[in-house]
Structures are given as C-alpha cells and as structure tokens.
Amino acid sequence: MDNNLETLRRALQDNREVFVSIINQTNEDFETKHNNMVEDLEKVIDEVFKVRVKAEKGEQKIVEDTVRMQKMITDLEAHINTSIITEKSVRKAQDRHLAEEMDGIFKVVKSLQDK
C-alpha cells in the first residue's frame, strides 16, 4: 500500500509539473501575443497620427490658398475700379476738350457767316 501511495504521489507530482509547464507556456504565449498586439497598435497609432498631420497641413494650405486668392481678388477689384475711374475721368476730359473745340469751330463758322 505504501508503494501504491508513493506511486500516486509521484504521479501527482509529475502531473503537477506538467500542469505548471503548460500554464507557464500558455502565459508566455499570451504575453507574446499581447506584446505583438501592442506593437501593431502602436504602428497603427503612428500611421493615424501621420495621416492626421498630413490632413491638418492640407487644411492649413487650403486656408492659406483661400486667403491668398481672396487678397488677389480684392487687389484685382481695386485695380479694376481704379481703371474704371481713370477711364471715366479721361473720357470726361476728352468730351470737355472736344466740346471746347466744337465751340471754337462754331464760333469761327458763325463769325464767317456773320461777315
């Protein structure tokens, strides 16, 4: 009977060692998988951050381009308005000058007719 108890005790000890070995191996496998998952998540986060930075730079460029375009349009409008005002002034001056010349010619013609 002592022999059977000793055999049982050894069998339990062997089973315990196998069980501990399986648990340790399982824990190592879980740790490896979790470490790999953490590394993959870190890579994903890095890529998401890079995309975010590119998107923000793109948005900033769009805003800068829009502001620059608005300034160019405003400058062009000012230039066009100045050109219109200048053209109106030139035409008025030409009209006045033509009217003065016509008045002078009519005076000459009238004086010739009166003679």
Q: What is the DSSP letter of 67?
A: H
pLDDT in tens, the chain (115 residues): 678 888 878 888 888 888 889 999 999 999 999 999 999 999 999 999 999 999 999 999 999 999 999 999 999 999 999 999 999 999 999 999 999 999 999 988 888 887 6
Give the pLDDT confidence score for residue 8 in this predicted structure.
Answer: 77
Q: Domain boundaries in the chain?
A: 1-87
How buried is residue 25: exposed, middle or buried, by Cβ count under 10 Å (0-12/13-18/19+)?
A: exposed
What is the model's pLDDT at position 16? 86
Helices and strands of the chain, counted as H and E runs: 1, 0
Over its C-alpha atoms, the chain yields an Rg (Å, rounded) of 49
pTM of this structure: 0.51
